[in-house]
């Protein structure tokens, strides 16, 4: 999927504050997709260096969408390779898609204390501040939905509508097994684990060339987790979209019923992985954003 990678870096947070729309004159970080060529940049903030795509809308301008990928994935895998970015751009949206810390081309950390929904959310808000984006639509998938929930909780005034993809009633901590997944990622032998979920994440991490030790630190339970009280207190419109065969995310309806302005969309015949690029899911999200423009 990735044919060429170089590096483009914004060197300082102080410089970014004075020139919020600065782009380095000598762009070097290039990611080439088999269907399209997009440029990825790196924002060097005070807490972490975050890689991101910033893609202009095509035709009518309806606003900006921030996309947050799931665990062990990247913006390229979750949003570019599945044509999500293309779909949203053609619908008139500027697309900002970041690599979460510990993932893709973003900075890696190896202490579990450096991860958690609040920390991921702070990175995303710092990026939006740097880009001068005060308000935008928001969508996260799987772990990205947890991050999006924290963003909607922490800064509701910045997000007119939010989508939780691939994460329903299990948003409060999933089905467990985090230690087993971490151990599978840390093992020298890719077949060391007998846990199907842990082995699946190991295979996926190897396939996308991820930093397994950073992911292991990321997946271990953090001190700060989402709670039913946080979800029940959300004040923004939220669409919960989950496949009806998704055992990782759990029921979309159960979670949507707990959100004051929540709506459920069940992606028929899809599990956690196959639901990501589903056409009906894309159409529903575009309609949801348009309804809250």
Name every residue whose Cβ is closer than 8 Å to that of residue 98 and which is 6 or more positions away in sequence. 50, 51, 52, 53, 66, 67, 68, 69, 75, 106, 123, 124, 127
Query: What's the confidence (pLDDT) of residue 225?
Result: 80
**Residue boundaries of the structural domains of the chain:** 54-291
Query: What's the confidence (pLDDT) of residue 221?
Result: 62
Phi-psi region of 83 (alpha: psi -120 to 50; beta: other; left: phi over 0): left
Query: What's the confidence (pLDDT) of residue 79?
Result: 98
Query: What's the confidence (pLDDT) of residue 187?
Result: 95
Query: What's the confidence (pLDDT) of residue 17?
Result: 30
Q: Work out the end-to-end distance of the chain between its first and last CA atoms, rounded to an integer number of angstroms.
A: 34
Whole-number Å distance between alpha carbons of 236 and 155: 10
Query: What's the confidence (pLDDT) of residue 8?
Result: 32
Query: What's the confidence (pLDDT) of residue 37?
Result: 53
Query: What's the confidence (pLDDT) of residue 94?
Result: 98
Q: What is the pLDDT of residues 180-223, one digit of tens each?
A: 999 999 999 999 999 888 998 899 899 888 999 999 999 986 54
Q: Give pLDDT < 70 ranges for the chain.
A: 1-37, 174-176, 221-224
Domain 54-291 CATH superfamily: Alpha/Beta hydrolase fold, catalytic domain (3.40.50.1820)
Q: Please, which residues bridge with residue 67 across strands?
A: 97, 139
Contact assessment for residue 53 and residue 27, using Cβ atoms and an 8 Å cutoff: no
Q: What is the pTM of this model?
A: 0.86
Query: What's the confidence (pLDDT) of residue 4?
Result: 24
* Helices 196-207 + 212-219 axis angle, to 10: 140
Q: Which two tokens stand for residue 7?
A: 């590096």
Query: What's the confidence (pLDDT) of residue 54?
Result: 98
Q: Which two tokens stand for residue 214?
A: 């950073």
Which strand (E) or helix (H) includes residue 10?
strand 9-10
């Amino acid at each position: 999927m990735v044919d060429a990678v170089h590096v483009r870096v914004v060197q300082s947070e102080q410089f970014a504050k004075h020139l919020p729309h600065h782009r380095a004159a000598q762009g070097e970080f290039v990611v080439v997709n088999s269907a399209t060529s997009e440029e990825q940049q790196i924002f060097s903030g005070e807490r972490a260096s975050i890689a991101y795509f910033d893609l202009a809308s095509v035709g009518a301008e309806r606003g900006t969408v921030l996309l947050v990928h799931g665990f062990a994935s990247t913006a390229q895998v979750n949003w570019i390779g599945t044509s999500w970015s293309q779909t949203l751009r053609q619908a008139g949206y500027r697309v900002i898609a970041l690599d979460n810390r510990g993932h893709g081309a973003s900075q890696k950390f190896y202490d579990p204390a450096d991860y958690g929904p609040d920390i991921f959310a702070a990175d995303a808000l710092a990026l939006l501040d740097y880009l001068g984006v005060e308000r935008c639509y928001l969508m996260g998938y799987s772990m990205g939905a947890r991050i999006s929930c924290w963003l909607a909780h922490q800064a509701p005034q910045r997000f007119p509508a939010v989508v939780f993809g691939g994460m329903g009633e299990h948003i409060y901590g999933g089905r467990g097994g985090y230690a087993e997944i971490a151990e599978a990622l840390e093992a020298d032998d890719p077949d060391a684990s007998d846990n199907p979920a842990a082995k699946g994440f190991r295979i996926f991490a190897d396939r996308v060339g991820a930093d397994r030790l950073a992911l292991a630190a990321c997946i271990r339970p953090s001190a700060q987790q989402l709670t039913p009280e946080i979800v029940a207190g959300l004040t923004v419109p939220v669409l919960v979209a989950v496949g009806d065969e998704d055992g990782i995310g759990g029921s979309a309806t159960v979670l949507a019923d707990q959100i004051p302005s929540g709506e459920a969309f069940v992606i028929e015949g899809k599990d956690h992985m196959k639901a990501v690029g589903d056409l009906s899911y894309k159409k529903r999200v575009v309609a949801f954003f348009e309804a809250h423009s």
